[in-house]
């Protein structure tokens, strides 16, 4: 027994230290290097604009964009709110819809055969081309943008979640059946937790697509939102505003992505194969 204990303990210690080496996400260089590169690019951009006296209409300098953001953060924030809220709504609906379709596909062979080829075919349509139709069908309000966002974002959730549900170890399913588990018990205690890593990878793609969906919707028709601001400012050759809106959009996107990553980290606490 004592022998077995020692061997497993060393067995644990080895991959743990190995993983740290491979991830490399903890070392100071992993923060310094990307930030340094970003700073370098911004510095070159700034110097280029200053030295060659590039007009602000063509390319505003990073410093002037920052100054604009600081001076007009209230206007930018006003536009950022609807974009973020609609993206989040589109994303959440896409996840719910995607998981629901994945459940149907997993549990019904007929549904799988009927749905799956059509879903894939659907993916081949350049979906951005359909965005104006959503305005015709659902009007100029936020519902059309949210619907388009769902439309564009649900597919990766379906694919990833289905893969997760179907990847469950057959042995564990057999064990559950031997224990007289109901389908619902198997779903909640085995299938769903086992599919979580897959679901989260689908969600990470979905959140970026949901934002794209909303921005496209705002490009076509909106009275507010960062997409609207970008189109509006570009039309008036107000490149500085347009750039500032893009920067704020990046921040909003990071925020939403960060929330998904946070949710994943929380889920990992309960459903990870690691002890810590």
Partner 1 sequence: MPSVPLKADHLVAEAPLVSVANVQKTYFTRQSPIHAVASASVDVARGEFVSLLGPSGCGKSTLLMMIAGLEKPTAGVITLAGAAVAAPRRDIGVIFQDATLLPWKSTLENVLFPIRILKLPLDKYRDRAHELLKMVGLAGFENKKPGELSGGMRQRVAICRALIHDPEILLMDEPFSALDAITRDQMNVALSEILEAYRKTVIFVTHSIREAAFLSDRVVVMGGRPSTIILDKKMPFARPRRFEIEETQEFAQVCRELRLTIEAAHGQRQGHGQGHGQGHGLGGARADGRQQPVKASAAGASIIE
Residue of 11, 117, 141, 258 interacting with partner 1 (CB under 8 A): 11
Smallest gap from Cβ 269 to partner 1, in A, equals 10
Distance spanning both ends of the chain, measured CA to CA = 24
Give the residue with the Cβ less far from partner 1, 8 or 223.
8
The sign of the CA dihedral 28, 34, 37, 43 is negative
Give the residue with the Cβ less far from partner 1, 155 or 187.
187
Interface positions, 78-137, toward partner 1 (CB under 8 A): none
d(CA 84, CA 87): 5
Binding range to partner 1, per CB under 8 A, among 77-85, 113-121, 199-207, 267-275: 267-275
Smallest gap from Cβ 6 to partner 1, in A, equals 11
Which stretches within 108-141 are classed as H helix?
109-124, 131-138
The tokens for 227 are 């997409």
d(CA 166, CA 105): 10
Count of residues engaged in binding partner 1, rule: CB under 8 A: 27
Strand, coil or helix: what is 224? coil
d(CA 143, CA 255): 22
Strand, coil or helix: what is 1? coil
Smallest gap from Cβ 185 to partner 1, in A, equals 6
In this structure, how many other beta carbons lie within 10 angstroms of the beta carbon of residue 263? Answer: 12
The tokens for 40 are 């370098």
Interface positions, 160-219, toward partner 1 (CB under 8 A): 169, 171-172, 174-181, 185, 189-190, 193
Binding range to partner 1, per CB under 8 A, among 4-12, 159-167, 207-215, 245-253: 4-12
Smallest gap from Cβ 224 to partner 1, in A, equals 44
Q: What is the CA radius of gyration of the chain?
A: 24
d(CA 132, CA 71): 34
Smallest gap from Cβ 211 to partner 1, in A, equals 31
The tokens for 72 are 């007009």
Give the residue with the Cβ less far from partner 1, 21 or 170.
170
- 4 contributes a contact to partner 1 by CB under 8 A: yes
What is the binding site for partner 1 (CB under 8 A)? Answer: 1, 4, 7-8, 11-12, 169, 171-172, 174-181, 185, 189-190, 193, 270-275
């Amino acid at each position: 027994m004592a022998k077995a204990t020692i061997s497993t303990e060393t067995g644990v210690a080895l991959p743990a230290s190995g993983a740290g080496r491979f991830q490399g996400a903890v070392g100071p260089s992993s923060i310094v290097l990307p930030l340094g590169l970003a700073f370098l690019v911004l510095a070159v951009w700034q110097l280029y604009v200053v030295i060659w006296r590039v007009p602000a209409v063509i390319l505003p300098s990073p410093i002037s964009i920052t100054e604009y953001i600081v001076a007009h953060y209230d206007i930018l924030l006003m536009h950022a709110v609807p974009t973020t809220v609609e993206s989040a709504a589109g994303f959440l609906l896409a996840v719910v819809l995607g998981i629901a379709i994945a459940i149907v596909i997993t549990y019904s062979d007929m549904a799988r055969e009927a749905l799956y080829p059509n879903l894939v075919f659907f993916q081949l349509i350049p979906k951005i081309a359909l965005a104006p139709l959503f305005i015709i069908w659902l009007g100029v309000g936020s519902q059309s943008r949210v619907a388009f966002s769902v439309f564009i974002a649900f597919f990766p959730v379906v694919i990833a979640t289905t893969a997760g549900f179907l990847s469950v170890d057959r042995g564990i399913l057999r064990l559950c059946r031997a224990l007289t588990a109901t389908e619902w018990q198997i779903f909640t205690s085995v299938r769903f937790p086992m599919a979580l890593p897959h679901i989260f990878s689908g969600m990470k793609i979905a959140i970026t697509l949901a934002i794209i969906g909303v921005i496209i919707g705002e490009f076509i028709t909106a009275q507010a939102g960062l997409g609207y601001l970008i189109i509006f400012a570009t039309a008036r050759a107000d490149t500085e505003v347009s750039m500032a809106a893009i920067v704020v959009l990046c921040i909003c996107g990071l925020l939403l992505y960060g929330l998904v990553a946070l949710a994943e980290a929380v889920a990992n606490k309960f459903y990870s194969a690691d002890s810590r």
